[in-house]
C-alpha cells in the first residue's frame, strides 16, 4: 500500500477538503462503479455508489506504484469479494478499507456515514500505527486481525482479498519488497485462506507468490502444465466418457469435468521436477453428483467398477471432513489408456463449500458475520484465540506460522469428538488442544486403549484418553516435545509463573530470617500492609515482585532492611 504522495508520518496527505462526497459528479462515479454493481446483481446500488464516492474523494491525488489512481485498489478488492458473493456491508467496507489508515478520514466518520457494522470491518483491517508500535507493528496488526475475525469473519476475508490484489500488482514494487510480501503471503495469508476453505483465493495467491519467489520455476511449471493439457484429451476424454456411462448405469445424475492442477501445488508435489509432465499428473477428474452423501458412495462404487482402483488410495473426506469442512471422496484408478487417474467425487451441495469454504456457509446461513459457536471448521480459530494473548509480540508471528501449518492429523476423544492437530503433534499437544487446564494437569494418556508417553506422536484415527491429576503441573522437559503454539505458550507461562513463585519464596525467606535476627516479625508487617507500602514505594506493584527482586539481587538486603526495622 505504498503511496506516491505521503507525509512524514507515512500517512497520505491529500490537499483537499475533508467533508462528504455528496456533491461529487455522479457521472464518473456511476461509470467507475458500474462493474461492481453488475457483479453484485445491482443490489444496494445507492450505498455502493456513496461508499465509492467517499473513497475516491479521500484517496484523490494518491497513486499506486503502477501510476494508477489509488482508488483502483479498493475497487478491485470489492470486485473480488463481489465475485465471491459477499454481502453489501462487506463490499462497502472493502471500498473504504484503506481510508482510515491512509487518509484523514476517521473511524468516527466511517461510523457516522456508514454505520457501526462497516466501521468494525474497516477498523479490523486497518494496520496499527508504525510510529507507535515500531518493530511490533506487523505482529500486533495480525493479532488485531485475528481478534477482529473472531467477532466477524468478514475482516479476514477482506484482508485476503486485499492481499490477493496486492499480489496481482506486485510487479510494480521493488524486488526486496516483492520478496517480503510474497513470503509473508505464503507463510500467513495463504494458510488463513486454507483454514477458511476459500480455495479459489488460496490457489491464486499460491501461484502469484510462487511467481515472485521463483520466477524461473513458475515459468517452467506453467509451460509444462500447458504442454500436458494440450494433449490431455487422449487421456481424459475416454475416461470421462466411461465415467458418464457408468453413472447412468447406476441411475446417478451428475457432471464429469477435468480440473487442471494449480501451478504451486504441482511444483510442490513433484519437488520441482516437471520435465516431461504427463497429462494424468496435470489434472484430475471431478464428479459432481445430484443427490446426497449416499450417492457419492454409489458413485465411488461405479467408478471402481468402470476402472480398476489402486489399492490404498481412497480417502473419505465425507465421513471425516477436513478441518475447514471440505467434503469429497478421493480415489485413484487406472484409466482406459493405462494411466493412473485421480478422481474426486462430491455432491452439488458440497461443491460450493469445496471451492469457497466459509464464504459458502455465510451465504447459505444468512449470517454474514459468521458465528463461531459450535462450528467445528472454526475450532482452529478458537484455539488460536486461547493462546494468542499470552504470546509476546516477538513470539507471536512465529507461533502463528506454526499454528497455521497446512498439514494435519485427525484424532478422537473417547466420546468421538474430532480433534485436528498439525502433523508431528504429540499426545501432550492433544491434551492442551482439549483445554489449557487438561494439558497442565495431564500425567499420561491412553492411545487406542493402551498406555503411552506424552511425547508419543499422534496419528490420524488415534483414540486418545488423557489422564489428569489436579496436583500435576508442567515440567521443563515438556518443552522438548510440545510442538503446537497453544501448548508451548501455556507451558512457558506456567513455568515462568512457577519460577517467579520460587524466587518470591526464596526472597521472602531470606528477608524473614534477617528480620527475625533483629527481633522484627515480617508476617506482622505483611498483615498491616507495611510490606505492600514498601514494595510500591520502591516501584513494585506486588510484594511478591519485591521478594523476587531480593532473590535475584536487583534489590540489596542491606538497603531493604532499614525500611522494615523500627526507627532508632
Residues with catalytic roles: 101-102
Q: What SS3 state is found at 554?
A: coil
What CA–CA distances, in Å, run from 414 to 141, 417, 419? 39, 7, 11
What is residue 528's DSSP assignment?
T
Among candidates 513, 504, 497, 417, which has minimal Cα distance to 465?
417
**Integer Cα distance of 504 and 540 in angstroms:** 13
Q: What's the alpha-carbon Rg for the chain, to the nearest Å?
A: 29
CA angle (242 as vertex; 239, 246 as ends), nearest 5: 140
**Integer Cα distance of 362 and 352 in angstroms:** 11
**Integer Cα distance of 208 and 231 in angstroms:** 26
Question: What would you measure as the largest C-alpha separation in the chain, in angstroms?
Answer: 105
In this structure, are residues 411 and 430 in contact, taking their beta carbons and an 8 Å threshold? yes
What is residue 455's DSSP assignment?
T
Q: Left, alpha or beta for 396 (phi > 0: left; psi -120 to 50: alpha)?
A: alpha
**Integer Cα distance of 238 and 486 in angstroms:** 50
Amino acid at each position: 500500500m505504498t503511496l506516491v504522495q505521503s507525509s512524514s508520518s507515512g500517512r497520505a496527505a491529500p490537499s483537499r477538503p475533508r467533508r462528504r462526497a455528496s456533491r461529487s459528479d455522479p457521472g464518473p462515479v456511476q461509470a467507475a462503479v458500474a462493474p461492481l454493481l453488475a457483479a453484485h446483481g445491482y443490489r444496494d446500488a445507492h450505498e455502493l455508489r456513496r461508499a465509492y464516492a467517499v473513497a475516491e474523494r479521500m484517496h484523490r491525488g494518491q497513486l499506486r506504484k503502477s501510476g494508477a489512481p489509488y482508488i483502483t485498489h479498493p475497487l478491485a478488492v470489492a470486485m473480488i469479494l463481489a465475485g465471491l458473493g459477499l454481502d453489501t456491508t462487506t463490499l462497502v467496507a472493502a471500498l473504504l478499507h484503506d481510508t482510515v489508515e491512509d487518509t484523514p478520514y476517521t473511524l468516527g466518520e466511517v461510523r457516522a456515514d456508514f454505520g457501526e457494522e462497516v466501521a468494525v470491518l474497516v477498523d479490523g483491517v486497518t494496520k496499527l500505527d508504525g510510529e507507535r508500535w515500531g518493530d511490533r507493528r506487523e505482529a500486533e496488526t495480525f493479532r488485531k486481525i485475528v481478534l477482529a475475525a473472531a467477532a466477524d469473519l468478514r475482516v479476514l476475508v477482506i484482508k485476503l482479498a486485499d492481499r490477493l490484489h496486492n499480489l496481482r500488482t506486485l510487479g510494480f514494487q521493488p524486488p526486496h519488497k516483492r520478496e517480503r510480501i510474497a513470503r509473508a503471503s505464503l507463510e500467513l495469508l495463504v494458510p488463513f485462506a486454507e483454514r477458511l476453505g476459500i480455495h479459489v483465493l488460496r490457489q491464486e495467491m499460491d501461484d502469484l507468490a510462487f511467481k515472485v519467489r521463483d520466477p524461473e520455476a513458475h515459468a517452467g511449471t506453467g509451460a509444462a502444465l500447458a504442454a500436458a493439457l494440450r494433449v490431455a484429451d487422449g487421456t481424459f476424454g475416454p475416461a470421462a466418457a466411461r465415467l458418464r456411462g457408468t453413472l447412468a448405469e447406476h441411475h446417478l445424475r451428475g457432471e464429469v469435468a477435468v480440473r487442471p492442477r494449480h501451478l504451486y501445488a504441482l511444483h510442490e508435489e513433484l519437488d520441482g521436477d516437471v520435465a516431461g509432465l504427463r497429462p494424468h499428473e496435470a489434472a484430475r477428474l471431478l464428479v459432481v453428483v445430484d443427490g446426497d452423501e449416499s450417492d457419492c458412495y454409489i458413485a465411488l462404487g461405479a467408478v471402481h467398477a468402470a476402472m480398476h482402483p489402486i489399492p490404498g488410495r481412497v480417502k473419505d473426506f465425507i465421513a471425516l471432513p477436513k478441518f475447514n469442512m471440505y467434503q469429497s471422496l478421493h480415489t485413484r484408478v487406472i484409466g482406459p489408456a493405462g494411466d493412473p487417474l485421480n478422481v474426486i467425487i462430491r455432491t452439488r451441495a458440497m461443491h460450493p463449500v469445496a471451492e469457497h469454504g466459509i464464504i459458502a456457509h455465510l451465504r447459505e446461513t444468512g449470517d454474514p458475520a459468521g458465528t463461531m459457536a459450535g462450528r467445528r471448521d472454526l475450532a482452529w480459530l478458537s484455539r488460536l484465540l486461547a493462546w494468542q494473548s499470552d504470546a509476546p509480540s516477538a513470539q507471536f508471528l512465529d507461533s502463528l506460522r506454526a499454528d497455521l501449518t497446512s498439514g494435519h492429523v485427525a484424532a478422537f476423544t473417547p466420546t468421538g469428538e474430532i480433534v485436528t492437530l498439525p502433523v508431528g503433534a504429540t499426545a501432550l499437544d492433544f491434551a492442551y488442544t482439549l483445554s489449557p487446564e487438561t494439558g497442565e494437569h495431564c500425567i499420561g494418556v491412553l492411545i487406542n486403549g493402551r498406555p503411552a508417553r506424552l511425547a508419543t506422536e499422534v496419528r490420524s484415527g488415534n483414540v486418545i484418553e488423557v489422564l489428569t491429576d489436579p496436583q500435576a503441573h508442567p515440567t521443563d522437559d515438556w518443552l522438548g516435545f510440545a510442538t503446537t503454539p497453544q501448548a508451548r505458550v501455556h507451558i512457558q507461562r506456567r513455568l515462568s509463573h512457577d519460577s517467579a513463585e520460587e524466587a518470591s519464596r526464596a526472597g521472602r525467606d531470606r528477608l524473614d530470617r534477617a528480620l527475625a535476627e533483629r527481633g522484627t516479625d515480617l508476617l506482622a508487617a505483611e498483615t498491616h500492609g507495611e510490606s505492600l507500602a514498601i514494595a510500591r514505594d520502591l516501584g513494585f506493584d506486588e510484594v511478591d515482585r519485591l521478594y523476587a527482586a531480593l532473590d535475584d539481587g536487583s534489590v540489596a538486603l542491606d538497603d531493604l532492611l532499614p525500611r522494615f526495622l523500627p526507627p532508632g
